[in-house]
Amino acid sequence: MPKSPLSFLIAARQCEIGELEQLALTSELVNAIGRLIHALQKERGICNVFLGSQGTRFAEQRLQQVAECERVQQFVRDHFDALDTAPSRVRNGARLFSRIAFVLHALDALPALRRRVAAQAITPDESTTAFIRLIAGLLVVVFEAADSATDPEISRALVAMFNFMQGKEFAGQERACGAATFASGHTDAARQQQWLHLIESQERCFEVFTDFADPAVLNAWNVAQLAESMAELERLRRTGCAPNAGGRLDANLSQTWFDCCTQRIDAMKTVEDLLAANLRGLCERKIAQAHAELRDQKAILDELSRQADAGPHAPAHYGPQLERSILGLVQEQAHRLQVMSDELETVRAALNERKVVERAKGLLMATRKLSEDDAYKMLRQTAMSQNRRLLDVAESVLAMADYL
Amino acid sequence: MPKSPLSFLIAARQCEIGELEQLALTSELVNAIGRLIHALQKERGICNVFLGSQGTRFAEQRLQQVAECERVQQFVRDHFDALDTAPSRVRNGARLFSRIAFVLHALDALPALRRRVAAQAITPDESTTAFIRLIAGLLVVVFEAADSATDPEISRALVAMFNFMQGKEFAGQERACGAATFASGHTDAARQQQWLHLIESQERCFEVFTDFADPAVLNAWNVAQLAESMAELERLRRTGCAPNAGGRLDANLSQTWFDCCTQRIDAMKTVEDLLAANLRGLCERKIAQAHAELRDQKAILDELSRQADAGPHAPAHYGPQLERSILGLVQEQAHRLQVMSDELETVRAALNERKVVERAKGLLMATRKLSEDDAYKMLRQTAMSQNRRLLDVAESVLAMADYL
């Protein structure tokens, strides 16, 4: 049977609903990944202390945390297994699945890493690097999820979520960097620069998060920022990484620093849980609303068809007034989708920063025959030494592409 | 059964193939739409002459062309009917289907329009406006198709195609504008401005087309540009719309102008057919290549699994060397997808111009309570009177959003 304009109107709306339902599933996956990242961050910190103390500290905590991680890992794997991997079911499927393949591969390598940690056959730095890479892989999955959202409001929530998770990860790396610096009893310019860079990267992420998060979440975040531990944290940052701090540090501050950071990161997890709950609620509301609108639209179209059938024309020919009603519906829908798509583009611009950095990295890898890690280090090094933002350096690199 | 990293690698590749197959179908739809636009452009021109001559000229040609149009219309409708409108099957489904709903509605209104033309119950301008709106609706479907492409090479071809079709449509409008101007025997500043604007809009489209078309198509285009009729066309343009042409025109030039433009537009159709054939070939090659790569990848993965099974570890645990091979595959795929996505973004930037204009139009509609047509006229009027590009005016409008 030939399809009418009305059937395409309905099909367009059903596509929207399908995309929203897909987004709700992806959002659940993002929440699960957030839990795993949090557990891995904790394990990373514990391993660091365990290895740094030649196994004398945190041995018991480490085993407990490994058990916790394995539980959450299984939870994430269940989500991966539940994904419909048939072609065309998931928007952006090729990229999302390829990122998940990386994560699964890294998760498969975890037991071996843990055996080496248990046997103290690995340095704290090597262990930290392995965890950082796995967490980065998980964050890329979240990024792809945010990048594939087709609804501007959900996209906003996912952009806020991704930036918050990325900021929290920089905070975790700062915890490790600071703990190691204090524990070593001294610091130098390179350590200080690395530390300052982690603070700046965090702040950049939280700025974007602040721009995109909804008021309830922002409020929770602002409360967390006022906590006493934040003042303590800033004092320790000043001691540890201010350029005039001199070389020597009190090694006993390492534990104070670690506890203070942990308190902050745990508070972040509370905010992240709120973000996740809001995202879930948003998806549910949007799906319910789209279903209601579809019902309304169907009712109007049924009424139009009934009037048309009752009229003097064949069913395919509506009177001029009905024609105008249908045209109104068609134009309204096209206009609404256009507005949504414009909003979406504005929101997605916030994801642009990471893309520009990725592109600059790719350019350096290709032209300088660098590994991915080395290309990133080169960008970061330039940013630190020129005291510029990573984004600005990446843009300069791309602008100079012809010269490279 | 839990999914392995390898199964996600395969799933990612299968998603790519699914997207390519979808693009091949969309490309066929674009070709069909191109044929319909060409037929409608011809009918529009014939109706213009028929109505302008009080039905004394082109009466027979009109009936023939209506029959031709109805044949091609059915062909396009068949393509619409063949589309899988189930949710999540077509990328960008919501927007594409909503645009198709508009087109189908406009096609349903064609018989009534044709009755009014036959009865000479409509002015040439009204008839032209109705055809322009329908063709614009068809071009928006092509635009959405180009905007939804996920493969950078196919996206390039679709961007070239869309701009060529849009340029050809401006050429068709120029034919009508010039024919009416010559036929009226005189011209004025407003006519001249409108005419010059149509020339400029065409040239802008063909510039983008030239940037994105492949060498074989470009060559055909350059040959067409050298045709004798082009010199004739330029001479007539100078006579008809140069500011110093004065008020009076030779009405007999109307037919010469019409024939000259028709020759040019028919030559454009040949270039468009070449574009379409190339696009079809490109899709077929890409799909074949992706299938071959999937087969290769499956063979490697089977080999890896076989080695793993034969080894001392449980199937889920590969040796360190196999681990590295798998990691290599995973990273290679992620890198390839990243590069593709970067290229895609560059290509899609060319579609940005239309989006900026649409957004500025939407802003004017909302803030000035204008209809879509009036908003566009306002932008075009400003561009003409300030002698600036439409894109620049649209960007200024958006930049001044807070003041509107």
Query: B19: nearest CA in chain A?
Result: A88
Of A88, A95, A150, the CB nearest to B89: A88
**A-to-B residue pairs, Cβ atoms closer than 8 angstroms:** 181
Determine the residue of chain B that is closest to A92 in CA distance: B15
The reply to whether residue B15 touches residue A87, judged by beta carbons under 8 angstroms, is yes
CB contact under 8 A, A335 and B14: no
Q: Are B9 and A97 an interchain contact pair (Cβ–Cβ within 8 Å)?
A: yes
Using the beta-carbon criterion (under 8 Å), do A18 and B87 form an inter-chain contact?
yes
In A, minimum Cα distance to B317 occurs at A108
- The dihedrals phi and psi of A248, each to the nearest 5 degrees, come to -90, 145
> Which pLDDT score, from 0 to 100, does residue B313 have?
45
Q: What is the DSSP secondary structure assignment for residue B3, as one 8-state letter?
A: P
Residue A139's contacts (CB-CB under 8 Å, 6 or more residues apart) are A37, A162, A165, A166, A169
Min Cα separation A3/chain B (Å): 6
| Cα of A22 to nearest chain B Cα, Å | 9
Provide the 8-state DSSP code for A247: S
DSSP assignment of A56-99 equals SSSHHHHHHHHHHHHHHHHHHHHHHHHS--STTSSTTHHHHHHH
Say whether pLDDT at A119 is over 50: yes
pLDDT in tens, A69-104: 999 999 999 999 988 887 767 778 888 999 999 999
How many C-beta neighbours within 10 Å does residue B145 have?
Answer: 24
Cβ of A93 within 8 Å of Cβ of B4? The answer is no
pLDDT for B333 beyond 60: yes
Chain B residues lying within 8 Å of A2, measured CB to CB? 77, 81
pLDDT at position B315 = 44
Nearest by CB to B98, from A9, A108, A327: name it: A9
Lowest mean pLDDT among A107-116, A162-171, B360-369: B360-369
pLDDT of residue A317 exceeding 60, the answer is no
Is residue B83 within 8 A of residue B32, CB to CB? The reply is no
Min distance B46 CA to chain A CA atoms (Å): 26
What value of ipTM does the predicted structure carry? Answer: 0.80
Count of Cβ atoms closer than 10 Å to residue A177 Cβ: 21
Which chain A residues contact residue B86 at CB under 8 A?
14
In this prediction, residue B299 carries a pLDDT of: 86
Average pLDDT estimate for A261-268: 92
Name which of A4, A338, A339 is nearest B104 (Cβ-Cβ): A4
Q: Given this model, what pLDDT does residue A227 score?
A: 79
For B96-106, write each residue's pLDDT tens digit.
999 999 999 99
Which among A77, A97, A331 has the least Cβ separation from residue B12? A97
By CA distance, what is A7's nearest residue in B?
B101
Confidence at residue A316, expressed as pLDDT on a 0 to 100 scale = 47
Binary contact (A94, B330; C-beta < 8 A): no
| Nearest-angstrom CA–CA distance, B38 and A129 | 61
Question: Residue ranges of the alpha helices (H) in B242-351?
Answer: 253-310, 320-348
Rounded CA-CA distance A242/A252 in Å is 18
* Averaged pLDDT score across all residues of chain B: 87
- Residues A188 and B76: their CA atoms lie apart, in Å, by 71
Binary contact (B95, A331; C-beta < 8 A): no
> Which of B5, B93, B109 is the closest to A323 by Cβ?
B109
CA dist B330 and B9 (Å) reads 7
Q: Which segment, B66-80, B192-206, B291-305, B355-369, is predicted with the most confidence on average?
A: B66-80
pLDDT digit string, tens, across residues B119-133: 999 998 899 999 999
**Which residue in chain A has the smallest CA separation from B6?**
A101
What is the distance, to the nearest Å, from the Cα of residue B367 to the centroid of all Cα atoms in its chain?
A: 29
Chain A: residue whose CA lies nearest to B110: A317
- Model pLDDT for residues B243-284, shown as the tens digit of each residue: 655 678 888 888 899 899 999 999 999 999 999 999 999 999
**pLDDT number for residue B404:** 65
Backbone angles phi, psi at B361, to 5 degrees: -60, -45
Domains of chain B: 7-285 (no CATH), 324-404 (1.10.10.10)
Identify all chain A residues contacting B25, using CB atoms and an 8 Å cutoff: none
- In this predicted structure, the answer to whether residue A322 has a pLDDT above a threshold of 80 is no
The pTM assigned to this predicted structure is 0.83
Mutation site, B74, B78, B88, B363, interface A, largest A CB count within 10 A: B88
How far is the C-alpha of A88 from the C-alpha of A142, rounded, in Å? 19
Rounded to the nearest 10°, the torsion over CA B330, B331, B334, B339 is -150
With cut-offs at 50, 70 and 90, classify the pLDDT of residue A313. very low
pLDDT at A315 over 50: no
> Which residues from chain B sit within 8 angstroms of residue A14, using beta carbons?
85-87
B105 to A2: CB separation less than 8 angstroms, yes or no = no
Average pLDDT over residues A277-286: 94
Nearest CA in chain A to B13: A94
Residue-level pLDDT at A92: 80
All residues of chain A having their beta carbon less than 8 Å from the beta carbon of residue B80 are 3, 8
The answer to whether the CB atoms of B327 and A105 lie below 8 A apart is: yes
pLDDT at residue A20 is higher than 70: yes
Q: Which residue is closest to B77 within chain A, CA to CA? A: A2
From A12, A87, A99, residue closest to B98, measured CB to CB? A12
Cβ-Cβ contacts under 8 Å, B346 against chain A: none
Q: Looking at chain A, which residue has its C-alpha nearest residue B371?
A: A331
Residue contact A362–B339, C-beta within 8 A: yes
Say whether pLDDT at B224 is over 80: yes
